[in-house]
Amino acid sequence: MTDDALQNLIGGWFDDLEFTTEESQFLNVKVPREHLHALMQQLREHPETEFDYLFCLTGVDWGEELGVVYHLESTTKRHILVVKVTTADRENPELDTVCDIWYTAEFHEREVFDFFGIRFRNHPNLKRLFLTEDWEGYPLRKDYEDDVNMILH
């Protein structure tokens, strides 16, 4: 399926999706956080999309907003889509989990929680993955300061 065909199909599911190709080789769609889980479920289950493979899930700090970028592929239909979601709430960032849709997201979401502090609602085991439980802060946020940064500056 072409990017245009994907955009036309997916764009009909929700009114508030934003599509771009930016400087990416893949079609990008930005979804409001309240529609994230429903969109992802539809992308996985719809017979024309069948996105059965979540091959990358990455946390991002865009300064004003925190977010997650998902790279999806359909191994049967041979198309790829990038889904982006953001939250402006830096004090209590929260998104829906997608690990019930793609099991591999369970560890990726734990990594994002560990380094960015984004909580994933309904995650079965959301706890730090790499850092110790008593670690303070989230080291991949742009506003994170640790002893090394304070010494260097």
Q: Please report the DSSP string for 2-48 in residue order.
A: -HHHHHHHHHTT-TT-EEE-TTSSSEEEE--GGGHHHHHHHHHH-TT
Provide the 3-class DSSP secondary structure of residue 112: helix
Residues 151, 42: Cα–Cα separation, whole Å: 49
Tell me the CB-side half-sphere exposure of residue 113, using CA atoms within 13 A: 21
Q: Could you read off the pLDDT of 129-153 as tens digits, one per residue?
A: 999 999 999 999 999 988 765 444 4
The first and second tokens of residue 76, run together, are: 């049967």
Q: What is the pLDDT of residue 23?
A: 74
Torsion of CA 44, 50, 56, 59, to 10 degrees: -40
Looking at the structure of the chain, the number of domains it has is 1
Which residues have C-beta within 8 Å of that of residue 116, sequence separation ≥ 6? Answer: 59, 60, 61, 66, 93, 138, 140, 141
Q: What is the pLDDT of residue 146?
A: 82
Domain range holding 50? 3-152
| 82: CATH | 3.30.460.80
Q: Could you read off the pLDDT of 28-45 as tens digits, one per residue?
A: 999 999 999 999 999 999
For residue 59, is pLDDT > 60? yes
Torsion of CA 22, 109, 139, 144, to 10 degrees: 70
Q: Mean pLDDT in the chain?
A: 94
